[in-house]
Amino acid sequence: MSEQYTVLVVDDEKEIREAIEIYLKNEGMKVLQAQDGLEALRILKENQVHLIIMDIMMPKQDGIQTTFKIREEKNIPIIMLSAKSEDTDKVLGLQVGADDYVTKPFNPIEFIARVKSQLRRYMKLGVYEGLSKEIDIKGLRLIQETKEVSVNGEQVRLTPLEYKILEFLMVNAPRVFSIDQIYEKVWNEPSYNAENTVAVHIRKIREKIEINPKEPKYLKVVWGIGYKIEK
C-alpha cells in the first residue's frame, strides 16, 4: 500500500530520525527528515507529504506549536512522539490536532501498524459504499466525496479524525454510540482507556460546528450512554 506515500519525520535526535526512516523505507515509503518544527514547515511548503511523525520536545519550535501551525492549513495525519507517557502531553497533542500518539521507546511493529492505519484513513476517508455522498442535517452539511463540511454555508476545517468521527455519527444519525464504539469504528482498533481521546476530539468538533458548544445543536451527549448527531 505504501510505496507512493511520503512521510515527514520531525525529531531533533538524528538517531531516532534515521531509525524511523529505516522502518518506513522497509515498507516502501519515501522519507523526508526535519530536525525542528521550522524546518518541517519549510519542507511541507515544497513537498507533497501524506503523513507526519512529530516529536514534541524540540528546539526552535516544538511539536505542539508546529502541529498547531500545520492545522491552520492542512489536514495531513500527524503522529506525535514523546519520551514522556503523561496523559497531559497526550491530551495537549490531541487538542492541537494530532491524530495519534506514540511514546518512546516504541515497538517498531506496532509503530508501523499505526502509520499504515493513519495512511489508510487519510487516503480513504469517507468511503461508505452504497450511501449518499452528501448528508445535510439542519444546515450541517457533509460531502463524502470531497470530505468537505460546512455549517449554514460556512466551511469548517476538521482534522482527519474529527472528520471521520463526525461522518460516522452523521451517517448513522440519530443513533447513539458509546465512546468505545466510536473509538473502535474510527480508530479501527480495540478500545482501551479511550475516554480522554474521544472526548478531546468531540470537544474540538463541537467548537468548530456549534454556535454555542456548551449548548450543542448537532453533536449531543446522551448521559451514561454516548454521543449522537441530533436529526
What are the tens digits of pLDDT across the range 18-27? 999 999 999 9
Determine the residue type at 166.
L
Length of the chain: 231
pLDDT digits (tens, 9 = 90+) for 148-186: 999 999 999 998 889 999 999 998 888 899 999 999 888
**What Cα–Cα distance (Å) separates residue 229 from each residue in 42, 107, 135?**
39, 37, 12
Contact partners, residue 115, CB within 8 Å, separation at least 6? 7, 24, 27, 51, 53, 79
Neighbours of 86 (CB within 10 A): 10
Strand order through the sheet with 154-156 = 134-137, 140-143, 148-151, 154-156
The C-alpha atoms of residue 174 and residue 184 are separated, in whole angstroms, by 19
Q: What is the pLDDT of residue 105?
A: 85
Q: What is the DSSP letter of 149?
A: E
- Left (φ > 0), alpha (ψ -120 to 50) or beta: where does 49 sit? beta
Check whether the bond before 105 is cis (ω within 30° of 0): yes
The pLDDT score that the predictor gives to residue 182 is 93
For cell 524511523, the residue is: 20
pLDDT recorded at residue 129: 38
Instruction: Please state the pTM of the whole predicted model.
Output: 0.61
What distance lies between CA 125 and its chain's CA centroid? 11
d(CA 194, CA 70): 25
Position 125 scores a pLDDT of 54
- Cite the beta strand spans of 25-99 per DSSP E: 30-34, 51-55, 78-82
Q: Return the bridge partners of 82, or none.
A: 103
Residues lower than pLDDT 70 in the chain: 1-3, 84-90, 124-132
